[in-house]
Amino acid sequence: MRVGLLGGGVIARLFLEHARRGEMDNAEVVAIAGRSEASRGKALAREFAAPFVVGVKQLIEARPEVVVEAASHDAVRECAEDLLSNGIAVVVLSGGALCDDGLRARLERASAKHRTLLYLPSGGIGGLDALKAACAAGVDEVSIAVTKPPAAWKGIGYVERMKIDLDRLTGPVTLFEGTAREGVPHFPANVNIAAVLSLAGIGFDRTRLKVVADPALRFNTHFITIKGKTGIIDLRFERASPRPTTPKRRCSPATAPSRPSVNSIRPCAMAPDGRLRESTRRRYLKVDTATVADVLDVLGLRDQGLAPEFAPYPAAVGKMGGWAYTIRGRMTRYAGSGDPSKMKAVDGVGRGELTVWSGEGRGVCFFGELIALGMKRRGCAGALVDGGIRDIEWIAKQRFPVYARYRTPVQSIGRWKVTARQVPVDMPGATSKRVKVRPGDFVLADSDGVIVIPERVAAKVLAEAERLTSKERRIRRDLGRGASLEEVLKKYGHV
């Protein structure tokens, strides 16, 4: 396998050492890439007799099959999308970069569009299988404490602004405590482990991160706690063989890309984990759009509801929810007997995704029974259509949920065609003219209407909606037992 390395630090050196000893099977390092001729990778390339290139363009020209990113968050932002778009698989070691939802969505789209693998190794932690199993049953809390000697935190802007003298600490000092989403960007080379944990588990917004400088520590030590329906899991990881050149990173062989992650690379990217996405989707189906709308209002997202014209087909279809897979089209006259772009778009939909069809259809259907059947067989969770559908009776027999603006027997061939997929689209809004729907947003529909939850707040919105739903159940219970409205409002407050 032709391998490119992005970065010239200790992890890149570890990889090259393993490769030189023949421990990477048939891996051939075809390029080490740096930002400039002054990059550390140039000296490393000379030492290991490997080609050195500058920039992502030259790296692509070296024709690697896979690139191992071992540089920085910036390197992921600057290079990963171009690599994926050129059919090159990417192993991301600076996983903290993926707390940027926009970046992660772009990389996932590029990976899907070009059928290229985006791989995030577990790095210096284990126990992720236990975490995923706990998530499937229901997790209340995931937390990680990243504790390292004071020297590991030197040269970090966030820490320097705290005005802490790391050389004179007499005991452990907490440098950060909050959500992983807030904390990971502050420590770009130090807490990627927290990013991996978040992506494998309950997300950046619900995973708690604590960062500690402890002068009593000899080795980097991480503590992970998982609490949920399966009980409590406590994990401790301590680096057994540190390298003095890199106190900031966990640089054991476990951190470096392993043989399976390069030579047996397969679609197991954790961003986001399929089982977690499905678990989240099923949880959303247990809350109402009205409750979700209230939560979004509190967050300042007051225009996420879609126009009241969207209705369920058939009327008894019930609740629908899934991760947005967007398809954009337009009214246009064309010759031919079909729309190949539509077929290609439908073939790309994944399990748990909900197709969002935009394009202001006028009098024509966007699809009928056969395409609905094709989407269902791919695991699609339903369809939201800014236009019409037909074959409603047959779609109903398939138990495939659809919310559309109208029904019509008129086909789209020669009248309306697909122009793009997995791009941001606009849908008619309830309180605004348009609502932006991006790939990966969550779409929820029920008898009250349709609402769009931006991916970046999906976990936070769900947690609060579940809390309010539980509160409403208690209110209904008390009212059913004879309590007055005044009494329950006094007890529970406004809902």
Catalytic status, residue 222 = yes
Higher pLDDT, 226 or 136: 226
Answer yes or no: is pLDDT of 2 > 70.
Answer: yes
CA atoms of 276 and 199, how far apart (whole Å): 9
Per-residue pLDDT reduced to its tens digit, 260-306 = 344 333 333 333 445 677 888 999 999 999 999 999 999 999 999 99
Residue corresponding to tokens 């000899």: 218
**Which pLDDT does position 473 carry in this prediction?**
83
Q: Which two tokens stand for residue 453?
A: 């939850």
Residue corresponding to tokens 């009212």: 479
H/E element, 365: strand 365-367
**Which pLDDT does position 130 carry in this prediction?**
74
Answer yes or no: is pLDDT of 131 > 90.
Answer: no
Look at residue 466 and give its three-state secondary structure: helix
Give the contacts of 491 (CB within 8 A, at least 6 positions apart).
Answer: 478, 483
CA dihedral 397, 403, 408, 410 (to 10 degrees): -90
Residue corresponding to tokens 């126990």: 127
The 10 Å CB-count burial string (b at 16+, else e) for 338-373 is ebeebeebbebbeebbbbbbbbebeebbbbbbebbb
Beta pairing partners, 226: 142, 233
Answer yes or no: is pLDDT of 244 > 60.
Answer: no
Answer yes or no: is pLDDT of 453 > 80.
Answer: yes
H/E element, 387: strand 382-389
Nearest alpha carbon to residue 213 among 180, 168, 252: 168
Mean pLDDT of the chain: 86
Alpha helices in 114-248 (DSSP H): 128-137, 157-160, 180-183, 192-200
| Residue pair 151/174 in contact by the 8 Å Cβ criterion | no
Residue corresponding to tokens 């030590």: 221
**Which pLDDT does position 313 carry in this prediction?**
92
H/E element, 451: strand 449-453
* Overall average pLDDT of the 471-495 stretch: 78
Beta pairing partners, 357: 327, 385
3-state helix vs strand vs coil in the chain, percent to 5:
35, 25, 40
| Cα of 161 vs its chain's centroid, Å | 31
Q: How far is CA 420 from CA 267, 325, 334, in A?
A: 24, 11, 16
Per-residue pLDDT band for 250 (boundaries 50, 70, 90) equals: very low
Please confirm whether the linkage preceding 314 is cis (ω < 30° from 0): yes
CA atoms of 91 and 82, how far apart (whole Å): 14
DSSP character for 204?
T
CA atoms of 495 and 491, how far apart (whole Å): 11
Total-model pTM? 0.51
**Which pLDDT does position 202 carry in this prediction?**
83
Residue corresponding to tokens 């904390």: 183
Per-residue pLDDT reduced to its tens digit, 329-369 = 989 888 877 888 888 888 888 889 999 999 878 899 999 88
Per-residue pLDDT band for 103 (boundaries 50, 70, 90) equals: confident
Question: Which class for 333: exposed (0-12), middle (13-18), buried (19 or more C-beta within 10 A)?
Answer: exposed
Question: Which is catalytic among the residues 73, 114, 222, 494?
Answer: 222
Domains of the chain (ranges; CATH) run 2-119 (3.40.50.720), 128-239 (3.30.360.10), 302-452 (3.50.30.40)
**Which pLDDT does position 189 carry in this prediction?**
79
Look at residue 92 and give its three-state secondary structure: strand
DSSP character for 258?
P
CA atoms of 476 and 473, how far apart (whole Å): 5
Q: Cβ of 212: how many Cβ atoms within 10 Å?
A: 18
**Which pLDDT does position 285 carry in this prediction?**
95
Per-residue pLDDT band for 431 (boundaries 50, 70, 90) equals: very high
